C-alpha cells in the first residue's frame, strides 16, 4: 500500500500538525501497525544490557487496543530472574556512564530527544493503539515527554556543588553532588512515554542508570523509547526495560541492595507498599501518587475561561490523569449559569477510536475502570446527586463511556472522596471562599488544584491556602517540564521536572580537606 511507505517524518517538514493528524487518522489499526513495523519501533521483547530478550520461561502477556479489543502484540511476562539480570546490567553500566563528563551525557540525551521528535508521529500512533487516547493528545504527549529529555540534557551540565567557608585556616570544605547510582522506575499506563522520560531524563543526566518497569497494559511505547535511546548512542545497560509480573518485579527491585532509589507514579495504595518495602534497604524514594483535584469556580470568574479550563482539566485523556479535576466546586451565584454552559461544552465532545479524526475522548483503559466509574455514580445518585448528562456506557461498546456531568454532589459522596479516573464531572455548589477552601482541603490527597477568578488578591489568598503541590489559576493544563511536579499529604514525595527534579537522583557528599599548610 503506497501510502504506508510514505515517511511521516518527511511529511512533518511540509505539513501542519493538523494535516499530520488528518493523514494519520486515516489509518486503520492494522495499517497503523504496519506503519510501526516499517519504522522498526514495534518492539515485542524486553531489553537487558542492550539485548532484546524474551522471558526466560517463555511466558507472554497480550497487549490489547482498548478501543477495539484486538491484540496488538504479545510481550514477555518477566519476573524475578529477569529483573535481577536487569539490575546487574544497570549496576555494571553505572561505572562507565557516571564517569562520562556531564557534556558527554548531555549530547547523548540530546540525540535521544532529536530521535523522539523525528519519530513523534510513529510514537503517537503507538500510544493511541495501546492506550486509547486521541491521536492529537498522543502527539501532545510525545512532545511533552520529549521536552523532559531536552530539558535534562541541558540540566546535566548544571549540577553544581558548594565551597563552604572554612572553620580553620588549614582546612578546605566542599560539597559534591553525585549520582544515586541504580534507579528502579515504575511507571503507569496513562502516559506511557511522558511518565518514563520524566524519570529517566534526570536520572541519566545525573549519571544514574535505570531499570524501567512500564505498565503491562502499555509496554510498547516504553520499548520503542528504549530502541531510540540505543540509536542515540546511550550505552547498553544504561536503560533496561522489563515488564510482566508486577509483584515479582517490584519485590526484586525493593530487595536489591544495588538499587538505591525507587521512583514510582501510580496509586496511593501501591505507593505506600513501595515506601514500606524500601525501608529494609533504606532506599531513596520519590512517589507521585493519587489525586483528588478541586476545581474552584468563583462568582467573579470569566465564564468562558472557566468552562474551557474546567473542560480541559476534567476530560483530558478521558479523565484518566492524576491531575484531572475530580471535583468542580462552583459558587452559588454562578452555579446554574456555569452548569448550563459546561454541559453544552461537554455535549460537543466526540467519543470514538483515537485514530478517527475529530475524536476528543477515547475509551477507558479496561473493564475495571468502567466498573469503578459505574460504582461511584451509583453511590452518588443513591445519596441524592443528579446525572444531568451521560451517566452510562457509550453505544460504541467496549470500554467507551459517555462524557458525564453530575449535579448536586456533596463532599461526603464517594465520587468526591475517591479518584473517578474517568469522564465524569461532579459539580458541587458552595457559598463562600472559606467554605470552598475547607471543602477543597478535606481530603488526604494533595496533588493539583485549579482556581477560576478575576480577583488577583483572591487568587493569591486561595492559592496559598490550598494544600496542594500544584495550583492552576485560570488555567486547566499546567504541567510543564520546567516546573516542579508533585504533591503533598498522601499524593506523594519529591518533585519531578524542573531543576528541582535533578535533586531526586543526587546524593550530597561533604569533603573536608585537612593539613593544607606547606610542609
DSSP helix/strand/coil, 1: coil
Please state, as a whole number, how many other Cβ atoms lie within 10 Å of the Cβ of residue 276: 10
- As separate numbers, helices (DSSP H) first and strands (DSSP E) second, the chain gives 18, 20
**Cα gap 292→218, rounded to integer Å:** 24
The secondary element (H helix, E strand) that includes residue 99 is none
* Alpha helices in 156-216, H assignment, sequence order: 194-206
Alpha helices (H) along 13-79: 17-25, 29-39
484: left (phi over 0), alpha (psi -120 to 50) or beta: beta
Q: Cβ(78)–Cβ(249) under 8 Å?
A: yes
User: Going by DSSP bridges, is the β-strand pair 182-186/209-213 parallel, antiparallel, or unpaired?
Assistant: parallel
Inter-helix orientation angle 220-231/120-131, to 10°: 160
> Residues 328, 309: contact at Cβ < 8 Å?
no
Is 216 considered catalytic here? no
Element (H, E) at 144: helix 135-155
Comparing CA positions, the residue from 238, 247, 301 lying closest to residue 462 is 301
Set 137, 141, 150, 288: catalytic member = 288
476 sits in which H/E element: none
Pair 146, 228: CB distance under 8 Å? no
**Bridge partners of residue 185, in order along the sequence:** 212, 263
What CA–CA distance (Å, rounded) separates 38 from 126?
13
Contact 184, 242 (CB under 8 A): no
- Residue 466, C-beta contacts closer than 8 angstroms, at least 6 positions apart: 294, 437, 440, 441, 449, 451
Sheet containing strand 424-430, edge to edge, reads 386-389, 404-407, 424-430, 325-331, 293-297, 448-452, 470-473
Q: How far apart are CA 457 and CA 468, in angstroms?
A: 19
Q: Which residues are catalytic?
A: 288
Amino acid at each position: 500500500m503506497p501510502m504506508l511507505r510514505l515517511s511521516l517524518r518527511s511529511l512533518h517538514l511540509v505539513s501542519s500538525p493538523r494535516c499530520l493528524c488528518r493523514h494519520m487518522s486515516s489509518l486503520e489499526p492494522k495499517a497503523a501497525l504496519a506503519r510501526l513495523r516499517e519504522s522498526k519501533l514495534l518492539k515485542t521483547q524486553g531489553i537487558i544490557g542492550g539485548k532484546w530478550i524474551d522471558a526466560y520461561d517463555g511466558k507472554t502477556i497480550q497487549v490489547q487496543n482498548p478501543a477495539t479489543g484486538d491484540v496488538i502484540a504479545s510481550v514477555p511476562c518477566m519476573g524475578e530472574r529477569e529483573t535481577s539480570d536487569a539490575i546487574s546490567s544497570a549496576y555494571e553500566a553505572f561505572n562507565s556512564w557516571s564517569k562520562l563528563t556531564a557534556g558527554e551525557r548531555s549530547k547523548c540525551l540530546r540525540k535521544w530527544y532529536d530521535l523522539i521528535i523525528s519519530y513523534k508521529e510513529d510514537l503517537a500512533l503507538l500510544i493511541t493503539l495501546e492506550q486509547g487516547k486521541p491521536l492529537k493528545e498522543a502527539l501532545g504527549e510525545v512532545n511533552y515527554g520529549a521536552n523532559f529529555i531536552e530539558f535534562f540534557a541541558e540540566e546535566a551540565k548544571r549540577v553544581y556543588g558548594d565551597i563552604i567557608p572554612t572553620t580553620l585556616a588549614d582546612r578546605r570544605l566542599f560539597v559534591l553532588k553525585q549520582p544515586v547510582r541504580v534507579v528502579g522506575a515504575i511507571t503507569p499506563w496513562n502516559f506511557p512515554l511522558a511518565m518514563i522520560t520524566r524519570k529517566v531524563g534526570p536520572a541519566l543526566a545525573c549519571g544514574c542508570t535505570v531499570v524501567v518497569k512500564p505498565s503491562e497494559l502499555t509496554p510498547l511505547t516504553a520499548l520503542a523509547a528504549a530502541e531510540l535511546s540505543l540509536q542515540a548512542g546511550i550505552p547498553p545497560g544504561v536503560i533496561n526495560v522489563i515488564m510482566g509480573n508486577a509483584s515479582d518485579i517490584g519485590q526484586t527491585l525493593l530487595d536489591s541492595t544495588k538499587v538505591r532509589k525507587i521512583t514510582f507514579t501510580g496509586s496511593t495504595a501501591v505507593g505506600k507498599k513501595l515506601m514500606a518495602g524500601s525501608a529494609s534497604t533504606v532506599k531513596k524514594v520519590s512517589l507521585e501518587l493519587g489525586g483528588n483535584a478541586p476545581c474552584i469556580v468563583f462568582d467573579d470568574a470569566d465564564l468562558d475561561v472557566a468552562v474551557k479550563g474546567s473542560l480541559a482539566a476534567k476530560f483530558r485523556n478521558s479523565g484518566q490523569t492524576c491531575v484531572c479535576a475530580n471535583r468542580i466546586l462552583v459558587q452559588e451565584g454562578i452555579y446554574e449559569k456555569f452548569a448550563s454552559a459546561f454541559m453544552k461544552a461537554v455535549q460537543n465532545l466526540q467519543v470514538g477510536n483515537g485514530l478517527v479524526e475529530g475524536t476528543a475522548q477515547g475509551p477507558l483503559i479496561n473493564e475495571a475502570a468502567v466498573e469503578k466509574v459505574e460504582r461511584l455514580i451509583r453511590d452518588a445518585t443513591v445519596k441524592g446527586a443528579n446525572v444531568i448528562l451521560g451517566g452510562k456506557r457509550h453505544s460504541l461498546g467496549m470500554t467507551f463511556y459517555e462524557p458525564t456531568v453530575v449535579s448536586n454532589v456533596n463532599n461526603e459522596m464517594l465520587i468526591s472522596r475517591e479518584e473517578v479516573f474517568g469522564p465524569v464531572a461532579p459539580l458541587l455548589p458552595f457559598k463562600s471562599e472559606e467554605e470552598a477552601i475547607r471543602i477543597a482541603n478535606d481530603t488526604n490527597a494533595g496533588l493539583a488544584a485549579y482556581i477560576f477568578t478575576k480577583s488577583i488578591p483572591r487568587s493569591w489568598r486561595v492559592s496559598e491556602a490550598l494544600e496542594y503541590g500544584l495550583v492552576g489559576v485560570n488555567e486547566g493544563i499546567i504541567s510543564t517540564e520546567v516546573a516542579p511536579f508533585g504533591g503533598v499529604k498522601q499524593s506523594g514525595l519529591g518533585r519531578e521536572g524542573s531543576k528541582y527534579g535533578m535533586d531526586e537522583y543526587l546524593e550530597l557528599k561533604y569533603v573536608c580537606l585537612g593539613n593544607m599548610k606547606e610542609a
